[in-house]
């Protein structure tokens, strides 16, 4: 009953006319950005930060949640229409979505993606509503040692689950933390790594890094791939209607994948990509017509779509209850919240119930908007894919720069943005994952602060991280998360 009352309170906030407008704008903008190959939810969210800066935190987060959902859905659209997933979380959708589009059933595939996303999102929101308050009650008892261990786990999980080299992932994470501690140390007032520059005293704004590493680096990468003069052929969309038997066929996969996706999303590091692949492979294994997966089976679109949306919601659990993001995307969201003056964590439910429940209610509304307004608009929105690539690349550059300059009014930051864009390109070319860097950048300061507070309390005794059972277990899991991929690699070699 309590949850119901709280949700009603949240609806009161989310249904304010301005907030409804923000949800719609967010979902719409997210769909467009997510649809553009290469630009995923992280870039979409980073581009939105300057807009949310002056907003009420609840409205800002409502807009961001809409963008997040929209970007995932937009990614599915380009997966289905172009076989060019805009987001890693929608790669699995293209396995059956694109073959369906080639058969002239793109509209059907898009409708299945939208309905499945809606159901996945809705089921997972119910879970979020139930799980989040419980988890935040547990998290209230966390001290600095536990927080430090939790953040170490968050980082190692993201590193170990990326498909790139473990060592390179860890290097990216260390560099992220290194960037985060540039500036004045708030505990002692000591300058660190500022090179005597007054511009660096306040540290490097995470927006500069996020836009550089993701959006600007993506522009450079697209230029390297040939400037994008070559447009992929686009299939006609066709009817968006589903028959009753088709709805029946996808009902089971959608509900199973929604639950699976949610719990995958809650785990640090997992998120939409793994959720969608798990959903897809689970259904392929269960289905009687599993051999038709990959050739245009509608269940092959429904399962990953339900799972990736559910995982998106699931990833809000650690962010809102522990204040620790489990992925690059939620790390950007955390950064946006901090910019707005809201610190997520176990106390957020008590201190900022408007933000917490407002966001949950807006997720419901965002899902409905995605279905009712976005789906019929898809043929229109898909025209964005016809925008000439050269013009698109130039516009992304302008958006990045106005985003940075509008926040800091600093030419120095624009030059830093360029530097991070080139760093992002280098990382991409040499196989360094970007998500650990951005997560570490957000967590670095809090991690150091937790570590120092824990050591201050223990009088400098490092055993404090091992003496406490929760902290010890979290550190052990972190160690395990790094060891498992190594063992797997070794076993593969032996075989």
Partner 1 sequence: MTRFNTNQWLALVLALVAAAYLAMAWQIPNFPLPRPVDSDLFPKVLGISLLLLAVCLFFEKPSAVAGADEVDESSHGPLLLTPWARVVVTAIAVAAYALLLVPLGFVLASTLLCFGLTAYYGYRRHGVSLATSLGIVLALYITMTRVMDVYLPTGVLPF
The residues binding partner 1 (CB under 8 A) are: 50-51, 54, 163-165, 167-168, 170-171, 174-175, 177-178, 181, 185, 187-188, 190, 192-193, 216, 219-221, 223-229, 388-391, 393-395, 397-399, 401-402, 405-406, 409, 411, 414-415, 417-418, 421-422, 425, 428-431, 448, 451-452, 455-456, 458-460
The smaller minimum CB distance to partner 1, of residues 4 and 195, is found at 195
Q: Which is nearer to partner 1, 134 or 387 (CB)?
A: 387
What is the four-CA torsion angle of 73, 79, 81, 83, rounded to 10 degrees? 170
Q: Which is nearer to partner 1, 146 or 413 (CB)?
A: 413
Q: Cite the beta strand spans of 272-312 per DSSP E.
A: none
Q: Which of 97, 112, 115 is nearest to 296 (CA)?
A: 97
Report the C-alpha gap between 397 and 415 in whole angstroms: 13
Rg of the chain over all Cα atoms, to the nearest angstrom: 22
- If the CB atoms of residues 104 and 227 are measured against partner 1, the closer one turns out to be 227
Instruction: Give the residue with the Cβ less far from partner 1, 299 or 389.
Output: 389
Least distance from C-beta 345 to partner 1, angstroms?
21
Contacts of 45 (CB under 8 A, 6+ apart): 64, 67, 68, 71, 329, 332, 333, 336
- β-partners of residue 192 are 183
Residue with tokens 């830093």: 416
Of the pair 459, 469, the CB lying nearest partner 1 is at 459
Rounded to a whole number of angstroms, the minimum distance from the CB of residue 352 to partner 1 is: 23
End-to-end CA distance of the chain: 55
Say if residue 12 is exposed, middle or buried (CB neighbours under 10 Å; 0-12, 13-18, 19+). Answer: middle
- Backbone angles phi and psi of 220, in degrees to 5: -60, -40
Structure tokens that stand for 386 in this block:
């016809």
E strands present in 123-203: 183-184, 191-192
- Whose Cβ is closer to partner 1: residue 134's or residue 224's? 224
Q: Cβ closer to partner 1: 55 or 131? A: 55
CB of 469 to partner 1, least distance (A): 23
Cβ atoms of 75 and 34 closer than 8 Å? yes
Q: What is the rounded distance in angstroms from the CA atom of residue 309 to the CA atom of residue 69?
A: 7
Residues near 54 by Cβ (< 8 Å), separated by ≥ 6?
Answer: none
Residue 129 beta carbon to partner 1: minimum distance, rounded to whole angstroms: 33
Q: At what angle do helices 91-102 and 106-139 cross, to 10 degrees?
A: 160
- d(CA 56, CA 416) in angstroms, rounded, equals 29
Minimum Å gap between C-beta 348 and partner 1 is 26
The distance of closest approach from Cβ of residue 229 to partner 1 in the complex, given in angstroms and rounded to an integer, is: 6
CB 238 within 8 A of CB 438: no
Q: Tell me how far, at minimum, the Cβ of 487 lies from partner 1, in Å.
A: 16
Task: For partner 1, give the closer residue by CB, 115 or 220.
Answer: 220
Q: Nearest distance from residue 460's CB to partner 1, in Å?
A: 3
> Closer to partner 1 at the Cβ: 217 or 267?
217
What is the C-alpha separation between 439 and 334, in angstroms, rounded? Answer: 10
Please state the closest distance from residue 427 (CB atom) to partner 1, in A: 10
Q: How far is the CB of 234 from partner 1 (least distance, A)?
A: 19
Q: Is 283 exposed, middle or buried (0-12, 13-18, 19+ CB in 10 A)?
A: buried
């Amino acid at each position: 009953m309590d949850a119901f009352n709280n949700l009603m309170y949240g609806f009161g906030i989310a249904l304010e006319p301005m907030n409804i407008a923000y949800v719609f704008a967010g979902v719409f903008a997210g769909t467009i950005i997510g649809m553009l190959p290469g630009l995923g939810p992280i870039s979409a969210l980073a581009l939105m930060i300057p807009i949310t800066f002056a907003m009420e935190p609840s409205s800002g987060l409502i807009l961001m949640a809409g963008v997040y959902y929209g970007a995932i859905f937009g990614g599915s659209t380009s997966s289905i229409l172009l076989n060019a997933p805009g987001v890693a979380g929608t790669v699995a959708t293209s396995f059956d979505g694109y073959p369906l589009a080639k058969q002239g059933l793109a509209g059907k595939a898009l409708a299945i993606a939208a309905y499945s996303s809606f159901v996945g999102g809705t089921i997972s929101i119910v879970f979020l509503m139930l799980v989040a308050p419980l988890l935040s009650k547990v998290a209230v008892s966390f001290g600095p040692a536990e927080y430090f261990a939790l953040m170490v786990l968050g980082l190692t999980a993201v590193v170990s689950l990326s498909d790139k080299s473990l060592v390179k992932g860890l290097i990216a994470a260390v560099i992220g933390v290194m960037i985060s501690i540039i500036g004045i140390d708030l505990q002692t007032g000591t300058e660190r790594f500022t090179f005597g520059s007054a511009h660096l005293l306040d540290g490097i704004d995470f927006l500069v890094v996020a836009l550089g590493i993701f959006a600007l680096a993506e522009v450079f990468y697209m230029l390297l791939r040939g400037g994008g003069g070559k447009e992929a052929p686009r299939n006609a969309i066709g009817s968006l209607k589903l028959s009753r038997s088709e709805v029946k066929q996808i009902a089971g996969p959608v509900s199973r994948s929604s639950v699976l996706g949610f719990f995958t999303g809650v785990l640090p590091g997992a998120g939409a990509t793994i959720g969608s692949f798990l959903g897809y492979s689970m259904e392929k294994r269960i289905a009687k017509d599993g051999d038709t997966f990959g050739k245009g089976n509608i269940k092959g679109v429904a399962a990953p779509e339900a799972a990736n949306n559910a995982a998106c919601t699931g990833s809000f659990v650690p962010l809102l209850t522990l204040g620790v993001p489990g992925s690059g995307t939620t790390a950007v969201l955390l950064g946006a919240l901090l910019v707005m003056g809201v610190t997520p964590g176990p106390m957020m439910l008590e201190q900022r119930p408007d933000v917490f429940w407002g966001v949950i209610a807006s997720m419901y509304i965002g899902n409905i908007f995605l279905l009712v307004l976005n789906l019929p608009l898809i043929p229109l929105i898909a025209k964005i894919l016809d925008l000439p690539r050269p013009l698109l690349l130039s516009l992304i550059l302008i958006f990045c720069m106005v985003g940075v300059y509008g926040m800091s009014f600093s030419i120095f930051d624009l030059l830093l943005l360029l530097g991070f864009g080139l760093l992002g390109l280098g990382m991409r070319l040499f196989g360094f994952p970007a998500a650990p860097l951005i997560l570490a950048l957000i967590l670095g300061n809090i991690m150091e602060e937790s570590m120092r507070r824990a050591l201050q309390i223990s009088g400098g005794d490092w055993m404090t991280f091992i003496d406490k059972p929760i902290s010890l277990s979290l550190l052990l899991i972190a160690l395990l998360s790094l060891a498992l991929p190594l063992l797997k690699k070794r076993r593969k070699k032996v075989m």
